[in-house]
Structure formats: C-alpha cells, structure tokens
C-alpha cells in the first residue's frame, strides 16, 4: 500500500498523486530509465497525465491486490497491515482478457503481493505452479475452472521497488557477481536490469 500521506492528501514535495507515486519509491524512476520517458517527478497534474499516457500506450495496468486494510502503526510498511480485504482479481482478469502476465512488485514474504495472491487463489481452490524458482520467481495458474476457457496466466515476483528491499538484493549471488565486476553497479541498476526483461 502507499504511504499513509497518500490517503490523507498531505503529500511531500516530489510525490506524484498516482500509483507508486511516493518520492521515495523506485518504480517510476526504474520505468523512466527503461523506457527513456523523461518523466516529471513533481506533485502536478502534468506528472499524473504523463504516467497515465505511458501506461495506456504500453497497455500496462496497475492494480493493488489489497482493497482495504488497517494499520496499527502509521507507516508505509506492508507488514503492519491488519484486517486485509483483497480485491477480486479474477474480476479484472475477466474484464481484461488480453492480460497474460501479472508482475508482482514484491515476493511471497508476509503481506507481500505474491503472498496475498496465493491466499486469493487458495480461496478459489487454485494454486500457483512453479515455472522458475530462481529470482525473479515465475509461476503460472489456470483460470479455466473460473472462466470455462483455457487461459493460463503467468506471474513474476520482481524485487520490490522500495528501499526496504535493498538488503535482500545485496544478499543475492547474482547481484554480488555483477557488483564485483562493476563496483558502481547498485540496487537500482539491478532492478532496472530485472524489470527490463519483463516490461
């Protein structure tokens, strides 16, 4: 979920009032580098329009799996979410039949997107099947029981675009190998490399 200030409207300078719009988040800087967008990073309507136009032109949708949640502590940590209600993701997958891949911005740790999606599928009597168990982890599932048509959706659990994931990246052997070859290589570079393969 976004930092609480996106709910209260008390945005900081440099925030964009849009999905993943926190000035501390890294999704938009990563996409900016991959697609050479030259995005505006400011609390303006222009910045919002830029992002909407990009998503529409590339046929990318953004949807948070969490419909509602409560926080015991007012911070941006997903771990602090309680009484979580999940969105009906099959509604969106049926409404947008051309969707064939779900990119999770995080993994299967508690309250992460893959974690919640697994819970959602379990409630439907379904589960993820492993395609690749190396990072980023790739899974698939079939919607045929839900829709009556043969539709297989792939999921990819990308490293989260938040500062909190930097330690996890630093412990990856693939990151360490790249860092040893190029000491200037950093966690943003790693995400750009990983995300580029799927975006």
Tokens of 22: 């926190």
Confirm if 20 and 28 have CB atoms less than 8 A apart.
Answer: yes
Taking the model in full, what pTM does it have? 0.90
Banded pLDDT at 79 (limits 50, 70, 90): low
Task: Give me the pLDDT at residue 120, please.
Answer: 96
pLDDT (0 to 100) of residue 72:
79
C-alpha 172/C-alpha 38 separation (Å) is: 30
Mean pLDDT for 172-177 is 94
Where exactly are the structural domains of the chain? 61-197
Tens digits of per-residue pLDDT, 21-58?
Answer: 999 999 999 999 999 999 999 999 999 999 999 999 99
Question: Residues 117-147: pLDDT tens digits?
Answer: 999 999 999 999 999 999 899 999 998 776 6
Among 77-81, 119-123, 172-176, 192-196, whose mean pLDDT is lowest? Answer: 77-81
In angstroms, the CA 82 to CA 40 distance is 34
Task: Determine how many CB atoms are found less than 10 A away from the CB of residue 100.
Answer: 10
């Amino acid at each position: 979920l976004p930092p609480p200030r996106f709910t209260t409207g008390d945005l900081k300078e440099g925030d964009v009032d849009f999905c993943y719009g926190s000035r501390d988040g890294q999704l938009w800087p990563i996409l900016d580098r991959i697609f050479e967008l030259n995005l505006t990073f400011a609390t303006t309507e222009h910045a919002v329009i830029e992002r909407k136009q990009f998503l529409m032109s590339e046929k990318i949708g953004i949807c948070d799996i969490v419909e509602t949640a409560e926080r015991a502590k007012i911070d941006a940590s997903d771990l602090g979410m309680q009484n979580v209600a999940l969105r009906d993701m099959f509604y969106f997958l049926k409404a947008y039949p051309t969707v064939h891949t779900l990119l999770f911005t995080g993994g299967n740790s508690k309250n992460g997107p893959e974690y919640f999606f697994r819970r959602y599928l379990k409630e439907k009597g379904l589960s993820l099947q492993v395609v690749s168990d190396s990072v980023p982890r790739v899974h698939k599932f079939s919607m045929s029981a839900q829709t009556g048509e043969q539709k297989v959706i792939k999921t990819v659990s990308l490293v989260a675009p938040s500062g909190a994931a930097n330690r996890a990246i630093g412990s990856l052997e693939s990151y360490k190998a790249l860092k040893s070859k190029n000491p200037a290589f950093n966690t943003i570079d790693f995400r750009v490399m990983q995300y580029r393969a799927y975006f």
